[in-house]
Structure 1
Amino acid sequence: MVSGGRLTALPTKNTVEYFYVWTEANVHSNDSIEMNSEECYQKTCSEVVNSNQLLSLSAKIYILRTFGPLAFLLKEDGEEEFQDWWFLLLTLLFVVAAMLSKEQGITVVGVCCVYEIVIAQKITPQGILKDFANICKGKISFPAWLRTSVLRGTFLVGSTLFLLLARIKIMGAELPVFTKTLKMVLWGLMVFLLTVHGLKTIIRNFDWQSEYILFKSAVKVNQRNAKLFNNIGHALEKTSNWSEALEYFTFAAKVQPDDIGAHINVGRTYQHLNMSKEAEKAFQTAIDLFPPVIQGKSYTARVAPSHLNAFLNLASLISKNESRLKEAEKLYKSAITMRADYVKAYMSRGEVLVRLGRLEEAKEQYRIALHYEQSDADIYYNIGVVNLEQKNLLEANTFFEQALRLNPDHQQTLFNSALLLQDLGDPVYRPEAMRRLLHLLELKPNDAKAYYCLAILAADNKEFTKAKNWFQEAIRLEDTMRSALFNLALMLVNDLKQPQEAIPYLQKLLMYYPNHTKGLILMGDININILKDLDGAEKNFLTILMNEPGNVQAIHNLCVVYVERGDILKAEKCLQHAHRLAPSESYILQHLNIVRNKIKAIKAKKKPQ
């Protein structure tokens, strides 16, 4: 029984201290007070949880202020110092809230101070001893972190002492009172927070429909983060929306002018838009942001590997101009200087050196690349191509074989190795060449060149029906392929003895390529021997002579047209001209003698008996 004053319950469970306060207004004389220890314990746990949440929140705010990402999201130009102090004040505000909930809340200040020293400034005992030793030696050079940390620590500790004095002044030694009304308010606030944040989560889900929508929503919050604009640009790239992607990449470069990646993105997008000059300017801007090369001085600089793409992209762009190949080669060399194991740069430089005719240097670049990447089939293929250029057929075949061992589906190697086996001229290699081409067609069914090569191999094997089918398939896929059109027509005339069937292919050939010399000669022969169209044949041969006045075969065939017309004298003059151009060609002299004999015979008939 209590008649007045204040009752304090002592610890009763798990050594958790709690305080149950009654004022005179709530206690009447002769009232019995029965304290349920479980209720008191639950009340105490609730208070501890509330205070712990506030402790955690205040500590997090300080950490965010120290690391600075939240400050970066909010601050504008010239406001950095203001934002710095704003987060300190916000930390202090939550310290006050924690202390009002439970006195232990004030201990978060100690946590913040320790965080400042150990995490934010990364100060170690060894560092402190080193600085102290320097001061003792007379080297009065205070570390850079000292002023900032002392200011922040002094502010926090001073503010905390002020709060303690204010608390003692206002409340004395009395403890805070937790009433049912306060609990109801807290429950209401919790329901409100859960409702608001639940709705925010539901609304936020709509932003996750695609990368584009997600990053666009982030830009609404923060328009000073270049990475966000770059990410939007990449999302638009995936849909080939180059114009809009360019806008975001350009804005990213404006937000962060020293972002090499942003300028690379701008240049790459200009390339897709076929704006070469603008692309070159963007890539050059990215390269200008690299640490400068100081002649005669060696130093280490940190460069992101992806940023080296600026050199490769610019070199690839200007290498399209044959007059700038040397400039492109120097750019590749610069990239290799910055990263010795840059395989892509070695390979690209090798390609440029091949185009410059410096085959040995190109081969050396590929061999260096092979040193860093032994399992790349492309490198073996490129070395094989260089050996082909140098007419080292057997060595080229060795590298092609190695490329196919690493990657049996390497399409370029399958095609070129099949051509190489065909060029070796040994019938033993033909089945393997055909097998590789057929495998290539499994990977790439619409490859007209593969069908054409199969047709040539089949023709070499005297399998003319197969060859005809493969020629026709090649023409179906690429009806302008002049080699397929001519060789099919030639095979139909000479091997299959089907000259009438060859005519449509020759007509199509001459429609696409009116000056195709061999096609004109073959068509002229058909006009003479099959169609008996001497005017058409004459036109064919004269077309050749307009472009190649010294073409002996065309002159000879034109002479044959004159013979077929019965114009013997004109034929004689024509054959004499052909004989002067090619005196060693026996068939011309033979035909000239035949014509002369005919002339003699005609003259003999005209003489009077």
Structure 2
Amino acid sequence: MAVVSWKEILLLTGLVVGCYWNSLSCGFVFDDVSAILDNKDLRPTTPIRNLFLNDFWGTPMAEERSHKSYRPLTVLTFRLNYLFSELSAASYHLLNVVLHAVVCVLFLRVCRLFLDKTSSLVAALLFAVHPIHTEAVTGVVGRAELLSSIFLLAAFLAYTKSTSADRSIVWAPIALTVVLVAAATLCKEQGITVVGICCVHEVFVAQGFTLPMLLHTMRQVLQGKDGFPYAVLQTLLKLIVLVISTLLLVIVRVQVIQSQLPVFTRFDNPAAVSSTPTRQLTFNYLLPVNAWLLLNPSELCCDWTMGTIPLVESLLDLRNLATLVFYTFLGLLAYHSLRYRHSSARTVIMALSLIVLPFIPASNLFFPVGFVVAERVLYVPSMGFCVLVAHGFRIVSHKGQLKKISWLMIGVLLTTHAVKTFNRNWDWESEYTLFTSALKVNKNNAKLWNNVGHALENQHNYARALRYFLQATRVQPDDIGAHMNVGRTYKNLNKSREAEEAYLVAKSLMPQVIPGKKYATRVAPNHLNVYINLANLIRANDSRLEEADQLYRQAISMRRDPEFLTSRANRTETPPLLLKMNKLTEARDAYLRALELDRANADLWYNLAIVNIEMKDPSEALKNFNHALELSPRHKLALFNSALLMQESGDENLSLM
């Protein structure tokens, strides 16, 4: 196997830097906000062990609202970024660019196993510049793909050295492979699929089996006509070790997520909640959609959820032809690679394994995922695609009359892809540029209209934001969140009547509570805020306090857990609604129940102290002010009110407490 030269490393690195240097001027957008800006696990004050207890977004794995994405090693790199530069986005983007360059070099090394020196370099160059990678490289959260790919490729390279010259097993590379697979999985879940790639390589490349040969050997053994050859026994032993290691990793992974899958709504993945045959037809149609993104990455979109891709509801839908063509082409490639032993067949089978196996976790085959299409999950599958393109280039370039044309075509392809990638990076400069670019590709996704509205809202441009939120309600009339956004924006524009009307529409879309059925599994938890928002709006009218209180109670009755603790706090915020209604005991009890769920919340202790003052219990109030200050020494309101309480009381014993 030819090694990678320094010239090739410099060429790949230079190309990556040339394509992605403008990403350093981009900020934190889309999922970066939750993973970086809002994630307390990045802060030095958070214990390191929390990274191994929480999901990718900083939510405890045990909580129902957890996304169940367990990637502590990726979060650890975010934390290192924060340690050196806090929230300077440039450093996060710079590390992503460096990691992409490392992946490209490792990929070139892997390509040398199946391709000659020239075509393997073509594959690596195409991978370096492919526009489908902008989401994984320029989007900071795409680091999960980058890190997982590094360990995945390293694990595969280690495994290829597990057989010695005399065909005996070398156990050290296998042990290293298992460790690297575990590391890849701790960066992103799809890292575990490298085990399948290793198995394909072992059987069809290292041992040189074809599918007919494999079936014949198994039939001979089952009929007792022949035993397993020594080489086959060696192969079986290695594969058994890999499979057992994989099963152990899966078991640990299942335990980490508390044996629960994340809760997604029908807006995240509409086909997942559709009936037969719509679900199957749509999921199968998504395969050629992903393949087309690799072939023609011209219209890229950061969010493919909701109505981006209409459901395929009938066998007569013409889009089924695309599915048929995709499976026909895939079947022909598989037939070619599994039936023959020549080098071309081995290259194709490894390319197919790189395409298919890493994509399986995102295919909805075993469990529904929270997206329709996600460009960054194509990062590893695109490696197999690049191998196929380079293999085709090698075949064509060896034909004398087509050699110059093939070189011209590959040059044009690399140039156009590099330009597309560079231009696509500018879309990730801000949330406004990202979502407006997505709307140019797709106008049927209400989430995109909402997100542009949010970006304008953050700029305090409420009038323009309202237009986008209203358009979201037109595109998706049953989108509760869109109507909530309209209501909030009307409130910011001081249009209380219109705000209330919008909230009432959102409330009417909420599913009715079914006794004995867990409500949270049927609706996104944040949608319950419609009750809180509506109550906060109408409580300004003293004649509607009871109505507001009823809405708070309704929200609280639907979720009695820490995730919805804010509803309890809102219900008794300062000036406390229940105090305003002269329900002092109920206000105190509400705070005490909230503190049972979250005793580390300084605001709850502070508000409880305010209730104690109203109940003429200064000693208890001061004690609760002190609790708040222990948790948050800079809690200005607690400091001021505790000092004021001691001064006004004139009680020397109280001031010494």
Give me the TM-score of the superposition, normalised by structure 2: 0.44
Give me the TM-score of the superposition, normalised by structure 1: 0.47
Q: Which has the higher Rg, Structure 1 or Structure 2? A: 1
